Structure 1
Amino acid sequence: MGTTGDKLTRRTVLRAGVAAVAVAGLGTVFATTARATDREPAAAKAKERARARVLVGGRSANGWEMEAGADIGGSIWTRPITGSPVTVALRIGAVAVVLTHVVRRFHYEIGALNSGEALGYQEEASVTGYETNHASGTAVDLRPGWYRPGVSGGFLPAELVVLRDVLRDCEGIVSWGGDRVRPDEGHFQIEVGPDDPRLAKVAAKIQDWNSKPGKGAGVLLALS
């Protein structure tokens, strides 16, 4: 059994060891935090560079940023239209939810769409005026070639009833080209900018419909 001096020495050594471990632990925390802090600006810069490669430096007629292409790492991606052979490149998020609803109801209730009959994204260099909304992924043309710009009367009365019902679903955030002074009856676009709260509200409503049987696209409309 050691002396009191031995015990004090051992305690002193023990305390010193604990302190050293604590200091080492704090050093690890600080080093990890420093590395994480260093990574944050680097990640932000990488994200900004990727964003710069995608954006073309302008906004479409409805106020959304136009992009250099679809499926290139930006906000515009090609997605299938459930229950149809159609795919369409649209801005992901609320825009895609709403415009997909329009396309699906058209397909189910107005006329079945074939592959290639829903045109979403188009390059900024190929569009002007309201059609620049294609370059931001916020517009879609259905059955291109069927409904010639400047010509009206492409829909039967019963089809127009359904079409107006689809627009009512969208509560004013989607406009139809048939209502333009120079009609473009195959054209549908988001009518509000990215900061308009109505877009998220309508998208949430449509998503709720899609999760419930008997709601949303594909429900037969009783014509009186």
Structure 2
Amino acid sequence: MNELTRRHFVGAAAGFAGAAAIGSLGAAPASAAPRRTDWAGSRSANGWEILPEAKSYRIEGSDQSVHLAGGTAATLLLYVARRFHYEIDQLRDGDVRGHRTSRRVQDPHESNYLSGTALEIRPQAYPLGAKDGFYPRELVVVRDILAELDGAVVWGGDFATPKESHFEVAHKPGHPKVKGVARKIDGWNSGPGNEGAGATDAFDPARRRRATSFARRMAS
């Protein structure tokens, strides 16, 4: 079975045509990637301070790590990476990239890597300007993650120029939503382990409805 046939079979057999439609909510047609430019200034596009270096954090459940800004940014983005590892596919060497120091960017959102407030998962598989890289079943998980984080993190698949490997903190430092969602995740991390990454079912009907509603609200 070739890759095209496999993609069609997985989508059809699993019955996730609706998830594919949800996955494209808010995303404009892919356009040619813009030319690279040097990012100027002391802050990234989402308002966080650009860092000369960032701490390395291990991604729970895997043997991978990623460099991120500390505090709430790390809490949010590590949660995304953990759920990807647990529910979409195992993370391998080279799959995850976070903070970097090169100011060369193709799109403003890439400046958020400079502040350690964004990460990309498998950028070679989901490059800037490409769409529909995830299977419908995988999109269900992505949408559930975004709904659970309540807009504190946004996904590059919803950008006008999509980058489906990209996840970033959506608000400036100290924003109530960023602090509130990070506090919720910290509670899960210190609790009995029956909530959060590794303990969720993205395909639960109630969660599916919530994720669909959230995606439509964010796209409007």
Do the aligned residues in 2 keep the contact of 1:139 with 1:189 (CA within 8 Å)? yes
Q: What is the aligned partner in structure 2 of residue 181 from structure 1? A: 160
Q: Please give the alpha-carbon distance, in whole angstroms, between the structure 1 residues aligned to 2:93 and 2:194.
A: 26
Residue 221 (str. 1) matches residue 201 (str. 2): yes
Listed as ranges, the gaps of 5+ residues in structure 1 are 1-55, 71-75
Q: What is the aligned partner in structure 2 of residue 195 from structure 1? A: 174
Do the aligned residues in 2 keep the contact of 1:117 with 1:142 (CA within 8 Å)? yes
Residue 137 (str. 1) matches residue 86 (str. 2): no
Residue 127 of structure 1 deviates from its aligned partner by: 2.8
* Larger relative contact order (Cα-Cα within 8 Å, sequence gap ≥ 6): 2
Residue 61 (str. 1) matches residue 39 (str. 2): no
Mapping 1:38-77, distance limit 5 Å? 58-68=42-52, 70=53, 76-77=54-55
Higher-helix-fraction structure: 1
Q: Please give the alpha-carbon distance, in whole angstroms, between the structure 2 residues aligned to 1:93 and 1:67.
A: 14
Q: Please give the alpha-carbon distance, in whole angstroms, between the structure 1 residues aligned to 2:150 and 2:182.
A: 11
Residue 151 of structure 1 deviates from its aligned partner by: 1.1
Q: Please give the alpha-carbon distance, in whole angstroms, between the structure 2 residues aligned to 1:124 and 1:115.
A: 21
Do the aligned residues in 2 keep the contact of 1:121 with 1:139 (CA within 8 Å)? yes
What are the Cα deviations for residues 153-186 of structure 1, in whole angstroms up to 9, with x where unaligned? 1111111111111011211011100001111000
Q: Please give the alpha-carbon distance, in whole angstroms, between the structure 1 residues aligned to 2:200 and 2:154.
A: 22
Q: Please give the alpha-carbon distance, in whole angstroms, between the structure 2 residues aligned to 1:147 and 1:222.
A: 22
Q: What is the aligned partner in structure 2 of residue 92 from structure 1? A: 70
Q: What is the aligned partner in structure 1 of residue 57 from structure 2? A: 79
Do the aligned residues in 1 keep the contact of 2:140 with 2:202 (CA within 8 Å)? no
**What is the TM-score when the length of structure 1 is the normalising length?**
0.69
Runs of 4+ in 1 over 6 A off after TM superposition: none
Give me the CA root mean square deviation: 1.5
Q: Please give the alpha-carbon distance, in whole angstroms, between the structure 2 residues aligned to 1:159 and 1:169.
A: 16
Residue 125 of structure 1 deviates from its aligned partner by: 2.1
**Matched residue SS, 2:167:** strand
Listed as ranges, the gaps of 5+ residues in structure 2 are 1-39, 206-220
Q: Please give the alpha-carbon distance, in whole angstroms, between the structure 1 residues aligned to 2:102 and 2:178.
A: 23
**Matched residue SS, 2:145:** helix
